[in-house]
Structure formats: C-alpha cells, structure tokens
C-alpha cells in the first residue's frame, strides 16, 4: 500500500496546471513563464528523497519569480500561481529553501 502523500505534492500538481495556463497566455510578454512552467513540471516528478534537486528547483522558482512577486499589473491567475509557489517553496525541507 502507498504511504501518505505530503500535502505539497498535491499543491504542486495543481500549480503545474496553473503554471501551464499562465505560460500559454502570458508567454509572449513574459518569456520566463514558459521556463517557470517547466521548472514546476520537473518539481512534480522530483522524488521526495532528492532534497538536493528540490533545493535547486526551489531556488530557481524564487529566481524566476523575483522572490514570488507577481509581475506588475498581472492577472488573478498569476497572483494565485506565485502565492501557491511561495507556499510550496516554504513547505519544502528546510535545507531546500536556503
């Protein structure tokens, strides 16, 4: 039988869809949106035990979002995505968010 899934796994899976949606709509004006979607995609499939990879992806998320600050004048979906990514990043193991 499977073990319980950490809550952030479920959150990041949901954010994968949101990140893809944001990339589709905002990619032309914010090229980083497509890269952000790829990073989220990778994080979904990163094993829980691979804390080093999680650390690198968490740092990349922070870089791409300038510390999870939504772009000026961005829509509700972007705000929702960045807020969700910030929550997930803080839910990662401590050494992964340093």
Residues making contact with other proteins (CB under 8 A): 1-2, 4-5, 9-18, 20-22, 24-26, 28-29, 44, 71, 73-78, 80
Which has the closest alpha carbon to 55: 69, 71, 39, 68? Answer: 39
Query: Closest distance between other proteins and the C-beta of residue 18, in Å?
Result: 5
Tell me the C-alpha to C-alpha distance, in Å, between residue 75 and each of 46, 51, 53, 55, 70.
29, 32, 30, 28, 9
Query: Closest distance between other proteins and the C-beta of residue 46, in Å?
Result: 12
Q: What one-character-per-residue DSSP string does 25-48 give?
A: HHTTT-THHHHHHHHHHHHHTS-T
Nearer to other proteins, 4 or 49 (CB): 4
Query: Closest distance between other proteins and the C-beta of residue 84, in Å?
Result: 8
């Amino acid at each position: 039988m499977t073990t319980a899934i950490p809550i952030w796994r479920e959150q990041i899976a949901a954010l994968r869809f949101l990140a893809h949606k944001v990339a589709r709509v905002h990619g032309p004006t914010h090229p980083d949106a497509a890269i952000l979607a790829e990073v989220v995609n990778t994080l979904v499939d990163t094993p829980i035990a691979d804390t080093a990879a999680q650390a690198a992806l968490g740092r990349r998320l922070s870089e791409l979002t300038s510390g999870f600050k939504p772009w000026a004048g961005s829509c509700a979906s972007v705000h929702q995505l960045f807020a969700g990514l910030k929550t997930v990043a803080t839910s990662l193991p401590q050494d992964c968010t340093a």
